[in-house]
Structure 1
Amino acid sequence: MNGTGGQEIRPDEGRTNGHGPERSVPLPGKRGWPERQQGPLLLRRGRVGAETTDQRLLDTTGPTDWLHTDPWRVLRITSEFVEGFGGLAELPPAVSVFGSARTPRGSADYLTGVEIGRALAQAGYAVITGGGPGAMEAANRGASEAGGVSVGLGIELPFEQGLNEYVDLGLNFRYFFVRKTMFVKYAQGFVVLPGGFGTLDELFEALTLVQTRKVTRFPVVLFGSAYWGGLVEWLRSTVVEQGKASTADMDLFHVTDDVAEVMKILDDARRRNGGSDQEAAERAAFTAVEEGASDI
């Protein structure tokens, strides 16, 4: 007798091995408090419910609130990582290009983005952008028109933008942090055109990952000295001066106004980080095959 209405409950009772519903098992030595093991969860007292996990799974008339719970979101997050890794795994060496979605077509910054995208594609790099309009569209356009691999990683936003027409391989994400992982994982460098909060977010995350050695050191190039000069001076005269960053941290990025210098910085870093002559040979062979196919 143990305070359960005259019925003795053995330790193995309450687990039905698939035959009938689970029962709440009083915890021996704890005043008969109900206890249930639900997967990896241990539930006691008022946390013990009347339903089992299988019942809730098979009950088609139940509520749909579970679609909006955090455990379900974990599965969505996992699926986004799986789709991203699967979709981008076979990319050639790539460079992520960031910049404002508000850059007008035909502006100097837009034309620079097209030039950079074209130069990257001609050098054998895939071009990865956020897939939106403005500077992102410009880089995708340059890569696409040069016959390169043009990638857009979109994001679900309240103001829907959609992927620009120059994206040849596009992925849309619900979660910013999954999208950011793809920018970093598959890039051998970042080129940052003038942009706003989103561009600054991506820039400083990249610098933080390099600074803390969470990723292999790769170049971060800020294009447009007039635009970035004030930020760079603030970092030097305030952040570094007050000891919030080191002088060496200022070497984590480059500032330039020359597309040729962008390419030199990327190529030099690629050689230092293990880019081989074999890659160049493979790119040349691939180009030759494409040119031969176009003659057929």
Structure 2
Amino acid sequence: MEIESLAAFDNHLRSHQGSLAGCRLQAVDLMERGWELRTADVTDSVFLGCALTESVAADLRQRGAMVFPCAPNLPFDPYRKTLYTADELYDGIAQKPYEQTPDALAYAWDSGPRDREDVLGIVLRGLHDDSITDALGEFLEGRRTVAVLGGHAVARDSSGYEAAIHLGRTLTRAGFTVATGGGPGAMEAANLGAYLAPFHDGAVDEAAAALGSARDFTPDATAWARAAFEVRAAFPPQRAGASLSVPTWFYGHEPPNAFATAIAKFFSNAAREDRLLARASAGLIFLPGAAGTVQEIFQAATPAYYTPVGSAPRRLILVGINHWTNTLPAWPLLRALAYSRPMATTIHLVDTAAEAGILLTRVH
């Protein structure tokens, strides 16, 4: 049983005769519940970053509970209960450079000059990523999610960026939740398309024009991020279409895009890749990319390859015939793997992002 609020704590005690046995309490302020905690059964209970008096915490440990203390000196909360928002990660971006935002400070902590095998660091990263995994599952419950994968180097003023915007908008308007790797380039464009889905059709051109002043994040991440927040100001987040991004501080030199309405940011890239690909319940679309996108294609293809006869794997759609057959010939290998297996009917190669959107919306 997970308990993530004071109301849930009180309700659980009432309905379980004062017992917290087996519960996992996460980031709950329990400073005013000392008596209830001292009298409760705490067998196999775990307190993750809960606010407790020192005496109550000591009593809980003595009676067998595990108590993980708050970590106030970190640039992130290892026990957070929800996914991030762009406003949280970019807090203060209008007044200070990107390097001073919470997102950049978390990356600096993760890549700082200390032993990477430090036990405390490993535990804190693990607690954080487990909390994000839990929040991600809650966010995606009941959603038809399509992962849109592609390269981070796609410039904002390119045709590929525009195509990804229209793809994200098409999928969102069709009732899907777009999920991306959360970075710049094609990932940002797909999240932007989802973001703009409820707005008038001219919003795409207006947003693209505003972003053109900072076409790439590499020369100036601050200007790149501020341009995105200017677009958000013109098209308020309260009306925006929902989408997800799943970035990682492993690639912390790539700032997360500001157009996803929910951001599941991980320290572990392996965990991030696994969660993103596994949760794409309605299919995966691979726009032209490089090594990271190739990795994602075959990471997604592996469970499809082993899908038993009689079951239907998710659809995998590669966009860009020349790119995936000549530049980076992933398609011939994917097709060879699929031969005579159930996945053979659910892998596709199309030439444009628009075709991918039409294909996926028709089969669903």
Same fold (TM over 0.5): yes
User: In 2, distance between residues paired with 1:168 and 1:245?
Assistant: 35
Counterpart of 1:227 (choices 323, 338, 343) is 323
| Correspondence for 1:85 | 137
Structure number with the bigger relative contact order (C-alpha 8 A, sep ≥ 6) is 2
| Correspondence for 1:177 | 270
Q: 1:18-29 maps to which residues of 2 (within 5 A)?
A: none
User: In 2, distance between residues paired with 1:68 and 1:197?
Assistant: 28
| Correspondence for 1:204 | 298
User: In 1, distance between residues paired with 2:118 and 2:325?
Assistant: 50
Counterpart of 2:339 (choices 236, 246, 250) is 246
Q: 1:133-152 maps to which residues of 2 (within 5 A)?
A: 133-147=184-198, 148-152=241-245
Structure 1 runs not aligned, ≥5 long: 1-52, 271-296
| Correspondence for 1:114 | 165
Q: Residues 250, 162 of structure 1: CA spacing in aligned structure 2 closer, same or farther, 3 A cutoff?
A: same
Give the paired residue count: 205
User: In 2, distance between residues paired with 1:170 and 1:162?
Assistant: 12
| Correspondence for 1:218 | 314
| Correspondence for 2:95 | none
What RMSD over aligned residues (CA atoms) do the two structures have, in Å?
Answer: 3.2
Q: Deviations over 1:78-118 (max 9, x none)?
A: 3342232233335x311100000011112121111111111
Structure 2 runs not aligned, ≥5 long: 1-60, 70-116, 199-240
Q: 1:92-131 maps to which residues of 2 (within 5 A)?
A: 92-131=143-182
Larger radius of gyration: 1
Per the TM alignment, residue 135 of structure 1 is displaced from its structure 2 partner at its CA by: 0.4
2:160 is the alignment partner of 1:67: no
1:254 is paired with a residue of what secondary structure?
A: strand
Per the TM alignment, residue 151 of structure 1 is displaced from its structure 2 partner at its CA by: 1.2
Q: State whether residues 117 and 127 of structure 1, in contact with CA within 8 Å, keep that contact through their aligned partners in structure 2.
A: yes
Q: State whether residues 219 and 265 of structure 1, in contact with CA within 8 Å, keep that contact through their aligned partners in structure 2.
A: no
Per the TM alignment, residue 73 of structure 1 is displaced from its structure 2 partner at its CA by: 6.2
Q: State whether residues 88 and 186 of structure 1, in contact with CA within 8 Å, keep that contact through their aligned partners in structure 2.
A: no
User: In 2, distance between residues paired with 1:65 and 1:157?
Assistant: 17
1:200 is paired with a residue of what secondary structure?
A: helix
Q: State whether residues 286 and 318 of structure 2, in contact with CA within 8 Å, keep that contact through their aligned partners in structure 1.
A: yes
Matching residue's letter, 2:319: F
Q: State whether residues 145 and 279 of structure 2, in contact with CA within 8 Å, keep that contact through their aligned partners in structure 1.
A: no
Q: Percent identity?
A: 28
| Correspondence for 1:40 | none
User: In 1, distance between residues paired with 2:363 and 2:355?
Assistant: 12
Q: State whether residues 190 and 221 of structure 1, in contact with CA within 8 Å, keep that contact through their aligned partners in structure 2.
A: yes
Matching residue's letter, 2:259: Y
Q: Residues 269, 180 of structure 1: CA spacing in aligned structure 2 closer, same or farther, 3 A cutoff?
A: farther
Per the TM alignment, residue 165 of structure 1 is displaced from its structure 2 partner at its CA by: 1.8
Q: Residues 85, 119 of structure 1: CA spacing in aligned structure 2 closer, same or farther, 3 A cutoff?
A: same
Q: State whether residues 219 and 269 of structure 1, in contact with CA within 8 Å, keep that contact through their aligned partners in structure 2.
A: no
1:96 is paired with a residue of what secondary structure?
A: strand
| Correspondence for 1:8 | none
User: In 2, distance between residues paired with 1:197 and 1:175?
Assistant: 18
Q: Residues 251, 143 of structure 1: CA spacing in aligned structure 2 closer, same or farther, 3 A cutoff?
A: same
Per the TM alignment, residue 226 of structure 1 is displaced from its structure 2 partner at its CA by: 1.6
**Segments ≥4 residues shifted beyond 4 Å:** 71-77, 247-252
| Correspondence for 2:248 | 155
2:358 is the alignment partner of 1:255: no
Per the TM alignment, residue 170 of structure 1 is displaced from its structure 2 partner at its CA by: 1.0
Q: Residues 118, 73 of structure 1: CA spacing in aligned structure 2 closer, same or farther, 3 A cutoff?
A: closer
Per the TM alignment, residue 149 of structure 1 is displaced from its structure 2 partner at its CA by: 1.7
Q: Deviations over 1:159-212 (max 9, x none)?
A: 432321211111111122322233222431111100011111111111111111
2:259 is the alignment partner of 1:166: yes
The two structures have a TM-score, normalised by structure 2, of 0.49
Q: Deviations over 1:239-279 (max 9, x none)?
A: 94xxx773556544211124453234323443xxxxxxxxx
